[in-house]
Amino acid sequence: MRILLDECVNPRVKAAFYGHEVSTVVEMGWGGLRNGELLAFAQEQFQVFVTIDQNIEYQHDLKKLSLGLLVVSVPDNKIKSYKPIFDAMHEAAETLGPGQVLHVMSAP
């Protein structure tokens, strides 16, 4: 499975998705694109888009997309905030289908 990390996600989160091909928005040369344009490009090459943007699902008609959206909620963008939910993120990514949205939240 091909997974794309939004530019707002710590790139070290790649480690959560072992066994999958993971790229970042910046690595793809798509840094600075608006979400609509970014999602259009992403769906051509990826099955899952990972973001911490809590509003993205309300700003776009995700049911029309050919990728799934994993929205992660962490208190900050430090890798230590993501590590406790690595397994949950991995599992969520593997169950996502096109146009679906799943949320993974860190413990308070």
For 44, residues 6+ apart whose C-beta sits below 8 A from its C-beta are none
With contact defined as beta carbons under 8 Å apart, do 58 and 14 qualify? no
Give pLDDT tens digits for 11-62: 999 999 999 999 999 999 999 998 889 999 999 999 999 999 988 878 777 7
The type of residue at 102 is L
CB-based contact 60:36 (threshold 8 Å): yes
Sheet holding 2-5, edge to edge: 21-24, 2-5, 48-51, 68-73, 101-105
Evaluate if residue 91 carries a pLDDT over 80.
yes
pTM of the model: 0.94
pLDDT over threshold 80, residue 100:
yes
